[in-house]
Structures are given as structure tokens and as C-alpha cells.
Structure 1
Amino acid sequence: MRVLIVSDTHGCVDARICALAQACDRVVHGGDVGDAAVLDALGGAVSAVRGNNDTAAKWPAAQQQRLQQLPLQAELELPGGRLVVVHGDAWPARGRHAALRRAFATARAVVYGHSHRLAIDSDALPWILNPGAGGRARTHGGPSCLLLQAAADAWQVEARQFGGGFRDTL
């Protein structure tokens, strides 16, 4: 199973990330979505969580019901293990990876966002994955995402970062 992992779009998602989503079986969004149009642009099989910026005051009035449907945490059973998705703002930056490993010890991997910093920490289980920022804000080198290949016998994760500025989709 091929899973696209994205986070921190803040209302817009890069067109190259949307193109990758079309070739994936699932899409996971780690919060700070910013607008329901982002979820629509990513395709049909999207699991998203609410980030600290996903508030009623920051989402269009017509989208409040869709915002309320976003959970604070999601868990997906994938071939070979469970993927947990949180935004990450509830854990202090110092020691965040160790804290996430303790909190979700039975997961194969934990996805978080919030920091806008791309990270693949696969030195221990569960893996701790941060796709960076998939929108315009604080991309630290360009919009980014992760591609996870989940099979019963092994998982592989690959980072994708797109330089050359943001490419609009919405």
C-alpha cells in the first residue's frame, strides 16, 4: 500500500504533492489543514487530524461542519502495522520523538506535523515521521511530503521536497 503523508498546508497545498497523491492508495494529513479545499485537492482516501491552527476562527464559516469532523488523533491499520497520526503540538519540541514513542509504543510509525520540519526518525520503533510543510508557510527549502510503502513484511519511507517555490493548486 502506498501512502502519501503531508502536513501543515495552512489552506493551500502544492500541486506537485497533489500529483503524488493521485498515485497513492491513501493520503494522511498531520493537521493545520486550513481549508477543506486542501482535503478535496488531495483526493478521496484522505485521513486528516486537526492541528492547533484548525480552529473555527481560521476556517471559512461554510466549512465549520467539515472542520468539526477532523479528530485530534487518527489510527490506520496498514499492511505490516498501525500508523498513528497526531499534530504534535501537545508534545514539547524537546524530547518530542521519545515522548511520541512512549505514548504510541504499539504503533509501527507515528506521524506528526506542527514543526514544519521534515524528519524521518527510523532508528527505533515506532518510527517518528514528520512530512514538513506541504503549503506555502515555513517550508524550510520548499514544500515537502513523505511517501510510505507499507507491506506486511516491510515498510519504506521516502522524503520528497520541491524547490523552486510553491506551485498553486487551489
Structure 2
Amino acid sequence: MRALIISDTHGLLRPEVLPLARAADVILHAGDVGRAEVLDGLRTVSPAPIHAVRGNVDRSPPLSSLPETVLVELGGVSVYVLHDLTALECSPTAAGIGVVISGHTHAPRLEERDGVIFLNPGALGPRRFRLPVACAWLHVADGAVRVKPVVLEP
């Protein structure tokens, strides 16, 4: 299972991400989509299911109807997606969650705590500060998880 993990597109669907979307088995968007056309554009290039959560900029319909969180099972691993990690209201370990995906900060981050992988893929929207334009691959097979960060050069 190959999941493309993206976040903070802020209305911009970069052409560099389209080949990645075509290669994905599933696409997870951790919020701040910015415009519905971003999700529509991903759907036109990829048959993969897309799970997206609402970010703080997703205030107008149809994006305001996105869920705040999503829990999906990928290859036997529970993956929890939310926009702002500070809003996490559960213990992932106690809930049996293997991966927590968030966005919001625009800064890529990968860490493991108490057996749970915490992943922020970074941002794919307009470049902010000196942060990279980034996303990530989440590879899941037989309950094992591997993360591969991706930095795009627009």
C-alpha cells in the first residue's frame, strides 16, 4: 500500500505532485486544501481514494463540510489524520493507532513516540518562509510502516 501524504495546499495544485498522485494507492490530505479544485484535480489524475480533513482555512463550502479527522486502515495499520496536531484529543497508543498525520505548521516532521509514528509531510502550497515544498510517501505492508519524505523542486 502506497499512500501519498499531502497537506497545506492552500488552493495550489502543483504540477509536480500529479505524477505522485497517479502512482498512489490512496491519497491523504491533512487539511488547508484551500480550494475544492485541488481535490477535483487530484481525482482527475488518480483513481486512488482521497481522504481529506478540514484545515483552518477551509471555511467555505464545500471544504467546510470536510471532517475534522479521518481514521483509515491501511495494510492493517490504523492511520489518524487531522490538521493541527495540538487538537489531538486521544491517546494514539491506547486507541491502537499506528500513524498520526497532521499538517498546519508547513514544516516537515517525522518522529516516533511510544510506538506511534507522527508525520507532518510539510506543505505543497505557496512557499512560505524558507520551508521546503514537501509531501511524503507512507508505505504500509503486513503491518509495517515506512515513511519516505519528498521535497519537490517547483
Matches within 5 A, 1:23-102: 23-43=23-43, 44=47, 45-56=49-60, 64=61, 66-88=62-84, 91=86, 100=88
Alignment partner, residue 59 of structure 1 = none
Spell out, residue by residue over 1:53-106, the C-alpha distance to the aligned partner (whole angstroms, 9 max, x if none).
1112xxxxxxx2x224310000001113100000016x17xxxxxxx5953222
Spell out, residue by residue over 1:25-68, the C-alpha distance to the aligned partner (whole angstroms, 9 max, x if none).
10000000000111122224110000011112xxxxxxx2x224
RMSD value, Cα: 2.0
> 1:11 Cα shift?
0.4
Maintained 8 Å contact 1:119/1:132 = yes
Whether 1:133 aligns to 2:123 is yes
User: What SS does structure 2 have at the residue aligned with 1:42?
Assistant: helix
**Structure 2 CA distance for partners of 1:139 and 1:32, relative to 1, 3 Å:** farther
5+ unaligned residues in a row in structure 2: which ranges? none
Q: For 1:113 and 1:79, locate their aligned partners in 2 and report how far apart those are by CA, in whole Å.
A: 22
- Letter matched to residue 50 of structure 1: R
- Letter matched to residue 19 of structure 2: A
Please identify which structure carries the higher strand content: 2
5+ unaligned residues in a row in structure 1: which ranges? 57-63, 93-99
Whether 1:120 aligns to 2:102 is no
Q: For 1:139 and 1:112, locate their aligned partners in 2 and report how far apart those are by CA, in whole Å.
A: 19
Q: For 1:54 and 1:139, locate their aligned partners in 2 and report how far apart those are by CA, in whole Å.
A: 21
**Structure 2 CA distance for partners of 1:67 and 1:101, relative to 1, 3 Å:** closer
Structure 1 residues 36-45 or 110-119, which shifts more?
A: 36-45
- Letter matched to residue 103 of structure 1: S
**Structure 2 CA distance for partners of 1:12 and 1:139, relative to 1, 3 Å:** farther
Maintained 8 Å contact 1:13/1:136 = no
Q: Normalized against structure 1, the TM-score is what?
A: 0.79
- Letter matched to residue 21 of structure 2: A
User: What SS does structure 1 have at the residue aligned with 2:16?
Assistant: helix
> 1:120 Cα shift?
1.1
